[in-house]
Amino acid sequence: MAKIKDWRLVLIVLAGLLVGLELIGYGIEIFGWSRKPTGDADNTAATKTLKEFQSQNALLTGRLKALATRGVFIIIDTAENRLYVMNGEKVQKEVVVSCGSGDILEETGGTRKWIFDTPRGEFSVTSKLVNPTWIKPDWAFIEEGEKPPANFNERVDNDSLGSYALGFGNGFFIHGTLYTRLLGWNVTHGCVRAGDKDLEEVFRQVPMGAKIYIY
């Protein structure tokens, strides 16, 4: 019986200590230095009138809006495997695509390594190709367990990229695919695959130099 009472006492003291600790922490936050931001915002704020702040606010939001991309551009969501053709703030077309798998390929006995990610950030359409030809890079052979050929002709593939391709730098393309069942999945080597019909529309709507935002 005495033991149970002792344990109860220990628990009460412990709970009291924890609550006390948290109260001290909150006390420091509320009354101490820790929630004071750096800089003297209040002093600077006091020197201007409300109207001045309002006009500055309108000016700044206007400047931000002016930076937005105008005309037709592309947004690609690599997590959801979606491509959006935008015209200003309006979504002109939504396409189910396939983006990079994130897989790693290491050359057996070699030093080379590839990470199959779709690059993220801001890009531009640098080329528009009809019936594109894929010049297969070394990794395409290594992945199949083959040795990369010395003969250039063995690298030429006229079928895999579909009917259209939009290049956005460093060998990356938005292109067609033979594997339409895999659209909507992260299965590519970094390029963005789309169905031929959708891609044809994207190809027609998006001009050379249009911005591409990938996240």
Least distance to another protein from the beta carbon of 129, Å? 23
Identity of the residue, 2 or 47, whose beta carbon is nearer to another protein in the bound complex: 47
Identity of the residue, 129 or 141, whose beta carbon is nearer to another protein in the bound complex: 141
Least distance to another protein from the beta carbon of 137, Å? 14
Residue 40, classed as helix, strand or coil, is coil
Which spans of this chain sit near another protein (rule: CB under 8 A)?
A: 18, 21-22, 24-26, 28-29, 32-39, 41-42, 44-46, 48-50, 53-54, 56-57, 60-61, 63-65, 67-69, 75, 77-80, 89, 101-108, 115, 120-122, 142-146, 178-182, 185-187, 213, 215
Quote the DSSP letter at residue 42.
Answer: H
Least distance to another protein from the beta carbon of 67, Å? 5
Identity of the residue, 15 or 135, whose beta carbon is nearer to another protein in the bound complex: 15
Phi, psi of 137 (to 5 degrees): -75, 175
Phi, psi of 66 (to 5 degrees): -65, -25
- Note every long-range contact of 198-204, with CB atoms under 8 Å and residues 24 or more positions apart, other chains counting: 198/93, 198/95, 198/96, 199/95, 199/162, 199/163, 199/164, 199/174, 199/175, 200/163, 200/164, 201/85, 201/93, 202/74, 202/83, 202/85, 202/93, 202/95, 202/164, 202/166, 202/174, 203/128, 203/164, 203/166
Identity of the residue, 128 or 213, whose beta carbon is nearer to another protein in the bound complex: 213
Cα→Cα distances 128→6, 36, 188, 195, 215, Å: 80, 55, 20, 16, 22
Identity of the residue, 32 or 204, whose beta carbon is nearer to another protein in the bound complex: 32
Identity of the residue, 56 or 133, whose beta carbon is nearer to another protein in the bound complex: 56
Q: Which residue has the tokens 């001290």?
A: 24
